[in-house]
Amino acid sequence: MEKQDLSDNPYLKIDNPYEDVQKQQAEAQTKVNEIERLCYSVFHQYEDGKRLWEFLHDTYLMRQHIDVNCGNAQNVAIWWDGFKAALLSLYNTGLTHIKKTNGVI
């Protein structure tokens, strides 16, 4: 009696329901790593990027750019805080890349 090959039987194959999720997570991690590398290159690797960060820090993060007497000061303050948070987030993303390459994270 000849042994049957059961590897082609679709009813006996084990489906992995998380296969697509794992692929999407891997793609997302690749994009995150690319963003971290770019932020590192812009703000931390070169002298021009370091000077750019000093300019952004001194000009936008340390100064008060809101005129309290304007009509929509509350909306401007909310927008400005978001802008400052975005700049800090980009800078910290570069720091995260440094930590990952040094084995801290």
Domain chopping of the chain, boundaries: 26-101
The answer to whether residue 10 scores a pLDDT higher than 80 is: no
Q: Is the pTM of this model over 0.85?
A: no
- Quick: pLDDT tens for 40-97: 999 999 999 999 999 999 988 887 777 777 778 788 888 888 999 999 999 999 999 9
From residue 5, alpha-carbon distances to 1, 8, 9 in Å are 13, 7, 8
Distance in angstroms (rounded) separating the CA atoms of residues 72 and 17: 51
pLDDT at 79: 87
